[in-house]
Each structure stands twice: as structure tokens, then as C-alpha cells.
A = this chain, B = another copy of it.
């Protein structure tokens, strides 16, 4: 369980890491090579695509940070909730994700759902 929580914390770190080199290293430690991510707005499979997706999200929301608001594991599954907002400010967007953890302890897949989206925020 602790490993699952640590994995999710690292997952959030990936989304917040603005340095391209450090982000790429974090992604490699966090996701399997063939891992897939899908949410209602974005999708990507493999480290290159996941990295490009995160970079695009950072460009879309400059200065914003992802924070974890809940995390738990269940055998090889994880679920967690997060919020996104300007650093030190109120959250603008909230979501909950479900993930599958591979036998090597990295993420095999994430499916993300949006819990709260203010009108126009992701248009």
C-alpha cells in the first residue's frame, strides 16, 4: 500500500515537473514503457506521448500545480483524486483517476475522470 501511495505521489510529481530532463527521468521511473493514459481531454501511450501530453498541459495552465487530495490502493489497482490550480491559490479543476500497477511497481495504465471543471476552463 505504501508503495502504491509513493507511486501516485511520483505520478503527480511528473505532472508538476517543468524541467524537461527531470520530467523524462521521473516518467521512466513511474510508468512502464507501454503504459497508457486516457482522460476526456488527452491520451497518450508510451513515455514520449505521456511526456508530450504533460508538457501540453503545463503550457495550457502556466504556473498551475497538481495536488493530491486522496489516494488508495487495492491489490494491483490504485485510485486517487487531485486538484489543479495556481500555486498557493484555490483549485480550479478536480479529478479522480484509476490506475493499474504493473508487476515491476510502475504504472501500466491510468484512466482519468473529471470531478469539477469550471465552464471554459478546458475549452
Contacts and interface: CB of A to CB of B under 8 A. Distances in A.
Contacts of A72: 113
Contacts of A40: 74
A82 interface: no
A72 to B, nearest CB: 6
Chain A interface size range: 10 to 19
Number of copies: 2
Nearest to A73: B113
Given A79-B96, A79-B98, A96-B96, A113 B74 contact: yes
Contacts of A38: 74-75, 77
Interface of A: 38-40, 70, 72, 74-75, 77, 79, 96, 98, 111-113, 115
